[in-house]
Chain A
Amino acid sequence: MTEPVLAIRNLTVRYGAKRVLTGVDLSLMRGDWFFLLGPNGSGKTTLLRCVGGQIVPAAGTVNIGGLSILEAPHSAKRLLGYAHPPEGLPGLLTGRQCLEVYAAAHDLPDIGSGILELAAQLRLTPALDQWVASYSLGTRQKLSILLALIGNPALVVLDEAFNGLDPASALVLRRELQQRVAERRCAVLLATHALDSVLRHGTRAGLLLDGALTRAWDAQELDALRTGDPGALEAVLAEAARECAA
């Protein structure tokens, strides 16, 4: 049996006295496109930040390719592509310089033709030599995703990655991710509220409510939802939220 790309076990995170995540378990293999769903404040971003090693959990483990993000961060992060929030990108670097820094960190000889081609498809090439401070939200978002894809990471982590993107760019990026997933080059973990994307691209999905993964859908269940009522997933989410509140 092959090693999961991402293995989260019993993850618990507290902000002071407040418990944000409680006993979350999740395992992703190459070829999985996992959609993390949940209302605002349910802990989606916190979970992703734990995967990125930015938050140290109160309990539990996060392993990427069998390597602990806390005990062997250097090796684990070699397998990780993490799209940072667009507002966190450095305003005083050009897009190309950001890509260069990321390529150097991954010990790549250059940025890579694949990434530059993708930048061209996203119509980002003219902006690459301008300062990030001059970028619009959508342009920053594109750069953030490109940075996450540098070095063909085995795990791509995206938080609301398609917000602010024009439809054409969103389509290009979805196709790119779909291709990587279909070729089993990586697993994608995406937190989102866009339920249509879940049905179109998702191989698995999970609902995070009050810090706990309360409901999960595998490929068969998602297939059933695809062929059935298009509003079924929305109804299931609303029902789950009501149950949790009750």
Chain B
Amino acid sequence: MHSPLLAALRLETTNHLRAWYLHGRRIRMWFAIAMIAAAVAAVIALATQFAPVLLRVVAPHLLTVNVLVALQASVLAHWGRRKWTAIYSGNWLSTLPVSRRQCARMVALRAFLASAPLLALPPAVVLLARLCAPRSGAITSALLTGIGIATAVGVLLGWYLPAREVRHSAPALPYAAASRASAVPRLVALSRWTETQTRVWLQPRSLARLLLPAMLLVPMDSANVAIALLSLWVLAVYLLVLLRAMVQVAREGAAWLRPTSLTFYRFAWSVARRPLFKQLQWTLLATVLLVALGCQPLVAARVAEWWLALVSVTSGIALSRAYQSRAMRLRLLVSVCAMAVLERFRQHLALPCALVISAWHIREAART
């Protein structure tokens, strides 16, 4: 047999696929495939609207875009290496007699598999933009070449960047706020949970160390624009991780508090209040940055509107489905598809639609 680590991964993957095939009803499987196809269609539909704008924004700043791509690739490689090294030094396989080289290969493989979709995102967006704007051949070719080189450089940089040792302390410790000694019953800890989770995942210190070389690499003649783009990138990463953290906290919090007498409304309000406010606050700032970068105010507002719609629908569905201990992905997919279809017929319907879907889910969860 080859590496036992590889064997375990292979067995887990085949078992996962087998479980999905055996336990999911065929009809559900076809439904899921149809939904995924619909989601892809929705993404393409949205891309046709936003692609020309995107190309117009990035065309004058090719080098800065490449720096951003390299930064993203290095962050993904760095985080992946840290995460999987920590996992393989503490999981059920960690005490097996496996050579260091085998372990390092496994960490590299898992880190690559986990970050591949995000690494593939920039070239996919450019390719989509090229399909939607056929006259943009020269600019998209330059972008694709640059992105390819930047990704390779970024991955190498992130992989070999010396990591702060996490082995002597639990990773969450530096980011957890010290709480006051108190005996007052209150749910404020629930609303801060998502932010703490976000900080633990984001590791702001690592991010700051990676941002520094990126800032030095951007061309000096367009420093303001470059800094705005970098800030926009940091904001986008923060908002994405914040949303992901809220889904995680909804799941863990619901599993923990469902057996208590806490009502769903109080649970949902406590968990979602602060993260939603942060989403609103930082999305507004991102909109301002977009406008500063030369994006038309109406287009920037639409991007913000779409993001808030996505946040709203994801939060509502995550909280309600988690409290009912049911799966959320399919509902989310259907909802986003419905929003995209509505948006095609009439603009500015995504956010109201998301709010209605969210409210309906929350009411349903409160009833049960």
Contacts and interface: CB of A to CB of B under 8 A. Distances in A.
Contact of A92 (B4, B15, B98, B100): B15
A151 B165 CA distance: 33
Contact of B12 (A49, A55, A93): A93
A147 B91 CA distance: 13
A88 B91 CA distance: 6
B168 interface: yes
A70 to B, nearest CB: 11
B89 A92 contact: no
A84 B95 CA distance: 9
B94 A97 contact: no
A197 to B, nearest CB: 23
Interface in B89-135: 89-100
Nearest to A78: B97
Contacts of B91: 84, 88
Contacts of A180: none
B94 A52 contact: yes
Secondary structure class of chain B's binding surface, majority of residues: loop
A73 interface: yes
Contacts of A131: 15, 19
B167 interface: yes
Nearest to B12: A92
Interface in A135-182: 147
Nearest to A51: B95
A82 B98 contact: no
Interface in A71-105: 73-75, 77-78, 80, 82, 84, 88-90, 92-94, 97-98, 100-102, 104-105
Of the listed residues B8, B12, B95, the one surrounded by the most CB atoms of chain A closer than 10 A to its CB is: B95
A75 B97 CA distance: 7
A56 B166 CA distance: 10
A105 B4 contact: yes
A84 B92 contact: yes
A56 B167 contact: yes
Contacts of B97: 73-75, 77-78, 105-106
B8 A101 contact: yes
Nearest to A107: B97
Interface string B156-192: 0000000001011110011000000000000000000
A121 interface: no
Nearest to B103: A73
A16 B19 CA distance: 41
A77 B95 contact: yes
Given A15-B173, A104-B4, A92 B19 contact: yes
Contact of B99 (A16, A53, A74): A74
Given A16-B174, A104-B7, A53 B15 contact: no
Given A15-B170, A73-B100, A104-B7, A54 B15 contact: no
B364 to A, nearest CB: 28
B152 interface: no
A82 B93 contact: no
B99 to A, nearest CB: 5
A78 to B, nearest CB: 4
Contacts of B174: 16
A58 interface: yes
B212 interface: no
Contacts of A147: 92
Contacts of A93: 8, 11-12, 15
B44 to A, nearest CB: 33
B262 interface: no
B23 to A, nearest CB: 11
A14 interface: yes
B363 interface: no
B16 A92 contact: yes
A16 B167 contact: no
B1 interface: yes
Contacts of B167: 55-56
Nearest to B15: A92
Contacts of B7: 100-101, 104
Given A15-B168, A16-B168, A92-B16, A53 B8 contact: no
A175 B94 CA distance: 27
11 contacts: A15-B173, A53-B95, A54-B90, A55-B168, A77-B96, A80-B95, A82-B95, A84-B95, A101-B7, A106-B96, A131-B19
Interface of B: 1, 4, 7-8, 11-12, 15-16, 19, 89-100, 165, 167-170, 173-174
Query: Which 6 pairs between the two chains have the least Cβ-Cβ distance?
Result: A82-B95, A105-B96, A105-B4, A16-B169, A77-B97, A104-B1
Given A49-B90, A78-B97, A97-B11, 9 more contacts: A52-B94, A53-B94, A53-B95, A54-B90, A54-B95, A55-B167, A101-B11, A101-B93, A104-B1
